[in-house]
């Protein structure tokens, strides 16, 4: 594979990522991806055989390179549940804010192709059971109040993802269309979400 190959392949992938993530799979157009990459439509099929395959490549990269590795690290390494919540919220709000179209992209994929993402997560080695056990232990030790640990986890993820997915609705309704205000709001959220949860579960 020559250097030119790599360059083109990467250009395509980057363009495809932009278009697929913004438009969704069905509404994305191969022509637009080609235009965005600054190359010809036929080249898309030369490198990736079909729209399906191209989409799969994009999805795989988003999940396996962008989202999962860091989360894996946090969930794996952080023993203290309060610190875990903080780190998780900080990373998640940050990465999603930097890639604001990912939530829609992922939620769409979840609904169109239910098993792909969950399999990726399950195969990624992310130790969900361990994390839940860690929360359970904190409850047994009287550090946090007793509740279903999954409720806490779901709350955490919800609060990180949704405000970005719903950006275009929140912006006019809560922020008078001020992007500065909204940005400040999200920046604060990195700690706010964690504090909100800890405030709720600590004893």
Interface residue list for DNA (CB under 7 A)? 1-2, 4-5, 7-8, 28-31, 39-43, 45-46, 49-52
- Contact predicate 201/152, CB 8 Å: yes
Pick the binder of its own copies from 9, 35, 56, 192 (CB under 8 A). Answer: 192
Hey, what are 76's tokens?
Answer: 């794996």
Residue 66 touching its own copies (CB under 8 A): no
Residue 133 touching its own copies (CB under 8 A): no
Residue 97 touching its own copies (CB under 8 A): no
- CA-nearest of 170, 36, 33 to 100 is 170
> From the CA atom positions of the chain, what is the Rg in Å?
20
The distance of closest approach from Cβ of residue 114 to DNA in the complex, given in angstroms and rounded to an integer, is 20
Pick one of DNA, its own copies, none as the site partner of residue 123 (Cβ within 5 to 8 A by kind): none
Residue 174 touching its own copies (CB under 8 A): yes
Pick one of its own copies, DNA, none as the site partner of residue 25 (Cβ within 5 to 8 A by kind): its own copies
The region of 32-40, 53-61, 82-90, 109-117 touching its own copies under the rule CB under 8 A is: 109-117
Hey, what are 50's tokens?
Answer: 């079909």
For residues 44 and 102, which CB has a smaller minimum distance to its own copies in the complex? Answer: 102
The region of 6-14, 30-38, 66-74, 164-172 touching its own copies under the rule CB under 8 A is: 164-172
Pick the binder of its own copies from 130, 173, 178, 183 (CB under 8 A). Answer: 173
Helix then strand count (H, E) for the chain reads 12, 0
| Residues 141, 104: Cα–Cα separation, whole Å | 38
Task: Please give the helix or strand (H or E) that residue 100 lies within, else none.
Answer: none
Half-sphere exposure in the Cβ direction for 75 (13 Å, CA): 20
Task: Please give the helix or strand (H or E) that residue 65 lies within, else none.
Answer: none
**All residues at 6 or more sequence positions from 161 whose CB lies less than 8 Å from its CB, including other chains:** 92, 96, 103
Hey, what are 165's tokens?
Answer: 């997915």
- In the complex, the residues that contact its own copies under the rule CB under 8 A are 22-27, 101, 103-104, 107-108, 110-112, 114-115, 117-119, 121-122, 128, 145, 147-148, 150-151, 153-155, 157-159, 161-163, 165-175, 185, 188-189, 192-193, 196-197, 199-201
């Amino acid at each position: 594979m020559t250097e030119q190959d790599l360059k083109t392949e990467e250009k395509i992938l980057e363009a495809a990522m932009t278009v697929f993530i913004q438009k969704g799979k069905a509404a994305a157009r191969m022509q637009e991806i080609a235009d965005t990459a600054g190359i010809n439509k036929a080249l898309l099929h030369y490198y990736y055989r079909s729209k399906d395959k191209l989409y799969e490549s994009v999805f795989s990269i988003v999940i396996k390179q962008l989202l999962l590795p860091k989360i894996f690290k946090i969930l794996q390494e952080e023993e203290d549940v309060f610190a875990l919540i903080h780190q998780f919220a900080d990373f998640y709000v940050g990465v999603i804010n930097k890639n604001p179209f990912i939530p829609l992209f992922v939620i769409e994929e979840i609904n169109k192709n239910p098993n792909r993402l969950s399999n990726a997560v399950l195969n990624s080695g992310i130790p969900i059971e361990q994390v839940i056990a860690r929360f359970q232990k904190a409850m047994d030790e009287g550090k946090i109040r007793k509740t279903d640990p999954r409720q806490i986890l779901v709350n955490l993820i919800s609060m990180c993802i949704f405000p970005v997915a719903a950006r275009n609705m929140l912006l006019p309704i809560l922020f008078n269309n001020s992007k500065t205000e909204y940005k400040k709001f999200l920046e604060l959220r990195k700690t706010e979400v964690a504090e909100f949860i800890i405030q709720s579960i600590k004893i």
